Chains A and B, each alone.
Chain A
Amino acid sequence: NAGVMQNPRHLVRRRGQEARLRCSPMKGHSHVYWYRQLPEEGLKFMVYLQKENIIDESGMPKERFSAEFPKEGPSILRIQQVVRGDSAAYFCASSPGDTAYEQYFGPGTRLTVT
């Protein structure tokens, strides 16, 4: 049973470019969460999605950041016009439902903005 998949593992973007981070949840999981880890910090919640719905995006910056989880395909976290402060590790987690309290994490995508 494959775990949560994220790609790419490493992504380098110049300031002003767009970054697209992908997350494929575990088989059977329909709930996806994105977290960001800044250097020397713990993970911070960004957004919670179910298939075709954003449930809570309260942790996501209002501008430049968006997320989706389409009916088919992976969840996408999109960062437009990246800045140096966006450099971080972005983790995706999934769970089978909102009543399940365990979230399974992917290996993360390390974004570097030059």
Chain B
Amino acid sequence: AQTVTQSQPEMSVQEAETVTLSCTYDTSESDYYLFWYKQPPSRQMILVIRQEAYKQQNATENRFSVNFQKAAKSFSLKISDSQLGDAAMYFCAYRSGSGGSNYKLTFGKGTLLTVNP
């Protein structure tokens, strides 16, 4: 079974600074997808960014980018120019790309990000 580990329960960053959230995963599959979701105090799950394992290029979405290291099974999220609205719980998630269970998302336990003004 796949597992997702987020080793940082909490992180803090100063407004306008850069922060990196860590995520590692364990899988024997070669085809899969990785995601970062944001959960603000409203508890709504918001997709931040996704990465297809077959793509070597790291995904970017405005101020959000990932460092995808397939061999190391590492998928970190970098937030540049942090804003107060970025404060939230961030979850890393894995989804198989093939096979019978390729719809389940497996989540890490999350990292609580605080942005200090």
Chain A positions within 8 Å of B, measured between CB atoms, are 31, 33, 35, 40-45, 48, 55-56, 59, 89, 91, 93, 95, 98, 101-105, 107-108, 110
Contacts and interface: CB of A to CB of B under 8 A. Distances in A.
B11 interface: no
A107 B109 contact: no
B43 A110 contact: yes
Interface of B: 4, 33, 37, 42-47, 50, 91, 93, 95, 97, 101-110
Given A41-B109, A42-B109, A42-B110, A105 B104 contact: no
Given A43-B45, A101-B95, A105-B45, A56 B110 contact: no
Contacts, number: 57
B16 to A, nearest CB: 29
Given A107-B43, A107-B44, A102 B50 contact: yes
Given A43-B45, A107-B43, A107-B44, A56 B105 contact: no
A43 B44 contact: no
27 contacts: A33-B103, A33-B104, A41-B109, A41-B110, A42-B4, A42-B93, A42-B108, A42-B109, A43-B91, A48-B103, A48-B104, A56-B101, A56-B103, A56-B104, A59-B104, A98-B102, A98-B103, A101-B50, A102-B47, A103-B103, A104-B47, A105-B44, A105-B45, A107-B42, A107-B43, A107-B44, A110-B43
A43 B107 contact: yes
B43 A89 contact: yes
